Structure 1
Amino acid sequence: MKNTIGLIFLFAVINVSYSTTLRELEFMKILYASEDVPKQILSSMITRRIDQIKTLYERKSILKDGKTFYTSTEHSLGLLLESVNSNDTQIGDLFESYSHIVNLLNEVNNLMQIHPVDHLTVDTSDSFSRDNLQAMMDGYIDDIEMVRMCEVSMGRADRVDMKIVERIKSLYNEVRNYTFYRDDSFVSESMSISRKTMDQCLWQFKFLLNKFTSTFIHY
């Protein structure tokens, strides 16, 4: 009974916003602007999200209400995946449903202090913390790999420029391994320089991502 009351309260305080833009959806719409997004892409996105939920569910810090929500969300995504595979629904409706489910997931995660980064894109800001920059880059790299696997299965492997992809991955590793040096006498200056370094990495990432996108679109 207590768990039920807690779950009702949890949903009561959620301020639902279905207009939140998800990076993965925005990126796919850009890549496939002149054609339908392959259903295989959406299927892969749903499967990836289910795996994410399973990982969150196993966290020791997640209380019963949270686990109940994750189970319900996994069931929703499972139903959506069945619909994708049955080809009985328009792709636009499927993407809208996916966005609805994930926005709810992100809002609940935020309530549980698991801050989502699905809304972060290269156009969100001109400056990111290293953690957010790394998380955003990681998300795009996962998206690109998902697209590559789809294009390979469709016999269009050359559409994904692997030279650019490798440069993006190399830049990601640079950001991940970057050391923030600090000198007690010049803390402010050091942190400022470190932030500018991240800004330079963001510019490089934008440049490479735009190059990848342009090559993909004009294949």
Structure 2
Amino acid sequence: MADNTPRSPASDTPFSSDGYAGDPAVRAEWDKRYSDRQQLWSGQPNGALVTEVASLTPGRVLDVGCGEGADAVWLARQGWDVTALEVSGVALERAAGHARDAGLTIRWVHGALEEAALPSASFDLVSAQYPALLRTPDAAAERALLAAVAPGGVLLLVHHAGMDAPQADNSEFDPADYVWPSMVAALFDDDWKVEVDEQRPRTAPDGGAGAHHTDDVVLRARRMR
């Protein structure tokens, strides 16, 4: 059987703009956010991911919006075969450096979830930790998340609690522009079994953007067939 999993680009030119699949404006926005700081996130794996993955047998995992690679590196250390997706080439350069330093092999995909041409129904775990997925009328991002999960596999979606409500102190952020766990859950049919759907206190890392958020919404569902 042919293996159509995305392959890692060459290490000397890992994230050229020519290989990017997605909206250039979105890439530029996130490249700027990462370029403005030497390190944007804490460098530690997300607590909800660590908790929810503890009972799973390592297999193939898609890390959606991998950022600077903390989750991807942690998953690889646990024995997972990791494909990590990110729109920012700046973030991917940092993530790849962390993986090299750790002696780990990870596939890096530079692109948006909806446009990255990922193999469907191929991942035992699809992990999206606090993803900034843009909402579209056809629910493209939500459907792409579901489509990536293999039969028997798990979708794990974690977001900051309360972020889906209008933020009075942040006029630049409109929650209506983004995908939230409830929107993904609304697409589940009889092929899916919800295993966790709850709000819980967050294990917040020291430092890094988003450290002030105290509660998570955790959605974990298994694709039965």
Q: Greater relative contact order (Cα 8 A, min sep 6): structure 1 or 2?
A: 1
Q: What is the TM-score normalised by the length of structure 1?
A: 0.31
Higher relative helix content: 1
Task: Pick the structure with more strand per residue.
Answer: 2
